[in-house]
Chain A
Amino acid sequence: MVDQDTPYRTRRRTVGRVLVPVAVGAVVAAGAGLVPALASDSAPNLPAVSAEQLVAKVLGSETDAFSGTVKVKADLGVPSQLLGAAGGGGASPQAKALELLGGEHTLQVAADGPDRQRLGLVGELGGYEVVHNGDQLWAWDSKANEAHHVVLPKDAGHGRAAGAPLGAGSLTPQELAKQVLAAGAGTTSVTVDGTVEVAGRAAYKLSVKPTQAGSTVREVRIAVDAEHGVPLGVLVQVAGGGSPVLDAHFSSVSFATPAAKTFEFSAPKGAKVTEGRDAAAGAPAGAAEAAEAAGAARGKAEPARPGGDPGVNVVGEGWTAVLSTRLPEGGPSAGAGQDARGHGKGGPDNPLALVKSLGKPVGGGSLISTRLLNVLVTDDGRVFAGAVTLPVLQSAAGVK
């Protein structure tokens, strides 16, 4: 350093030195702020297509082999702890599927046709893996060191695979987008809204909006790969505004067929293996059921109520479809309401009292509301649920 030889350091030089770290910090901050902004601004140039062509491209897409990383960000307005409790916690696929509905998650996905899929939930210092290969279905939780193994019936395996390959698998952009696209012609406006780049690939933005009044969904935006016609991302906006209620998109994707050994899975050494004989007995069935129920609700990405009550009816159609059922009959109701919180996990003695303590009183019953899904429980124990506003629920219940 020259200044060591000079007895006096000028004040200007000292100030200049202090500016160096400030400048470095500023450059980094500017870079971090600007680079993503610039990247998202550069919409790729693609030939114009009509909405019909694009939807057809999606439905007719032959590409069913891919691998990549999916980021799922859900903000349903339900505390994630509650979702965990609702799923029963632990290693079951149901619990994991519900966990996805709160917060941000990263999934590693791979698929090769309807018979082979793999889905890995990337957790901190842990992982959760679901592997489907033919009639074999494995679910593996590294933290618990537990594996679930289910042998799917040959025929049913195919049927399910076509609709919803795995319970949790229905959260991949493909399945979500296909369900939404199949949702309804007369009740929905579908338009192509420019282009976007997703996971480094050029994609069309398909905008799906309900034309019916009363839906909590404002817009579903699907990014469709321009080359393969595969949905690369799904974004659900609610009528209430704010951040997207669901944002699932590939952060990286490859359409090369994954290596066959990707789908090979055997019980890890020393792991506790739970065997389920067929899908009905196995835990994954619950998730698949949930996915089917979600499909029945016209494909909106809502958590289906687990329950399996015999009397589930659909009132209305399209975006304003409302599921109705009855609360299970509880035991003696005396005093159960006082301690409803404590009963949340196990199974309350009196479901109606629990609902009343959780929900807010509205005309005709209690309302449990999230950003997307509203549930109305009438005073006589009927339940109405849907991605609709309260008046729609009330008219479905006939209480107003």
Chain B
Amino acid sequence: MSRAEVSPEEMAPERVAPERAVSGAVVRAGVRAGVRPQTAAGFLALFRSEVGLTFRRARTLALLSILAALPVLIGVVVRVETGGESGGGGPAFVAQVTQNGLFLVFTALALTLPVFLPMSVGVVAGDAVAGEASAGTLRYLLVAPAGRTRLLAAKFTAALVYCAVATAVVALSALATGAALFPMGEVTLLSGDAIGPGAALLRALLVAAVVAASLAGLVAIGLFVSTLTGSGIAAMATTVVLVITVQILDSFPQLHAVQPYLFTHGWLSFGDLLRTPMYWDNVLDNLGLQAVYVAVFGSAAWARFASRDITA
């Protein structure tokens, strides 16, 4: 980890203490009652603390601003380079973007989903436990009897929130860029039908939700990897390498039999929602697969984290 990337929290564990005080207050209440606080409020406090921690990191903000800049870059390139004629080449939906700025949302999501979004999600999820361990804050967290399971659940949920925020950042930035550079109005879907701008915005919202949910499996994998090591950077790198490896495997025709079970396989199925009638089969397959990955790797992360010795 480079010096510049180390956030203040990591540099000075004592500064984390007020941050953690939120959960600490709840914990104290629980101690007074003589039991661990298994309340929704307790979880919520822990969760809020995790979300705050995630989004206050300079690293997270840098990732989000890169994600926000990408649609602008794509929009400008398409605007400058597409002189009316777009003969089917280039990234997805480019022909549509020049007709309607709203399509930049879908182009941006299709372009960021294979690499940028999973990379940033891998950083956040991989860092979740291992980062605390390497910064030496994990044992402080566990001294409080908040419960390892609940801590893990809070970290998982916070990472899911990051997925949603990252996707929303890409979508909103693309929407703003698209509106600024290209005409808006009726949107021609992939099946050739036109729908009004309102309905198109709803579809964009739906697509963004599906894209964010597509990353859930990766979050679970990243969290599991994160519980395996005490080094934050190792967990992040492993998660990102895993994403790339799986996508390479997904491109071999010889591995046709296993490909439907790779967590990246259905990522681009969101395009099927841009048809009339919407074609849900692939999207639902993808979401089901993500649920399976969450179940398997989430429970693996729990099994590992709940029984591991915390030395850092």
Contact = CB atoms under 8 A, between A and B. Distances in A.
Q: A and B bound?
A: yes
A142 B190 contact: yes
Interface in A266-286: 268-271
Contact of A125 (B149, B186, B268, B296): B268
A1 B279 contact: no
Contacts of B149: 1
Contact of A17 (B268, B277, B297, B302): B302
B14 interface: no
Most buried by B among A20, A125, A141: A125
Nearest to B143: A4
A229 interface: no
B292 interface: yes
A14 B307 contact: yes
Contacts of A69: 279, 281
A269 B99 contact: yes
A258 to B, nearest CB: 9
A147 interface: yes
B290 to A, nearest CB: 12
Contact of A124 (B86, B268, B281, B304): B268
A138 B188 contact: no
B238 interface: no
B176 interface: no
A17 B303 contact: yes
A269 B188 contact: yes
B188 A18 contact: no
Nearest to A139: B192
B299 interface: yes
Given A1-B148, A28-B292, A145 B299 contact: no
B110 A122 contact: no
B191 interface: yes
B93 interface: yes
Interface string B8-20: 0000000000000
B99 to A, nearest CB: 4
B95 A21 contact: no
B87 interface: yes
Contacts of B275: 108, 120, 122, 127
Contacts of B98: 270
A108 B279 contact: yes
Contact of A251 (B194, B281, B295): B281
Contacts of A131: 192
B194 A269 contact: yes
A9 interface: yes
A268 B190 CA distance: 10
Nearest to A17: B303
Contacts of A129: 191-192
Contact of A269 (B186, B277, B295): B186
Contacts of A147: 192
A142 to B, nearest CB: 4
Contacts of A14: 307
Nearest to B278: A108
A125 B110 contact: yes
Contacts of A108: 191, 275, 277, 279
A341 interface: no
Contact of B303 (A21, A124, A251): A21
B30 interface: no
A271 B188 contact: yes
A18 B308 CA distance: 11
B197 to A, nearest CB: 13
A141 B191 CA distance: 8
Contacts of A66: none
Given A24-B295, A122-B275, A143 B147 contact: no
A5 B142 CA distance: 11
Interface string A1-41: 10111000100011001111100110010000000000000
A388 B36 CA distance: 77
A28 B296 contact: yes
B95 A144 contact: yes
Contact of B271 (A91, A124, A265): A124
A204 interface: no
Contact of A21 (B145, B190, B296): B296
Nearest to A252: B281
Nearest to B88: A144
A187 interface: no
Given A1-B148, A21-B300, A25-B296, A145 B277 contact: no
A17 B307 contact: yes
Contacts of A91: 88
Contacts of A144: 87-88, 95
Of the listed residues B145, B188, B190, B306, the one surrounded by the most CB atoms of chain A closer than 10 A to its CB is B190
Interface in B257-312: 268-269, 271-272, 275, 277, 279, 281-282, 292, 295-297, 299-300, 302-304, 306-307
B205 interface: no
A24 B142 contact: no
Contacts of A140: 191-192
A269 B281 CA distance: 29
Nearest to B142: A4
Interface string A131-157: 100000010111111110000000000
A142 B192 CA distance: 7
Nearest to A110: B277
Interface of A: 1, 3-5, 9, 13-14, 17-21, 24-25, 28, 69, 90-91, 106, 108, 120, 122, 124-127, 129, 131, 138, 140-147, 251, 265, 268-271
Given A1-B36, A270-B188, 5 more contacts: A13-B307, A17-B307, A120-B191, A141-B88, A269-B194
27 contacts: A1-B148, A1-B149, A3-B306, A9-B307, A17-B304, A20-B302, A21-B296, A24-B296, A28-B292, A28-B296, A91-B88, A108-B279, A122-B272, A122-B282, A124-B268, A140-B191, A140-B192, A142-B192, A143-B95, A144-B87, A144-B95, A145-B88, A145-B96, A145-B99, A268-B99, A268-B192, A270-B99
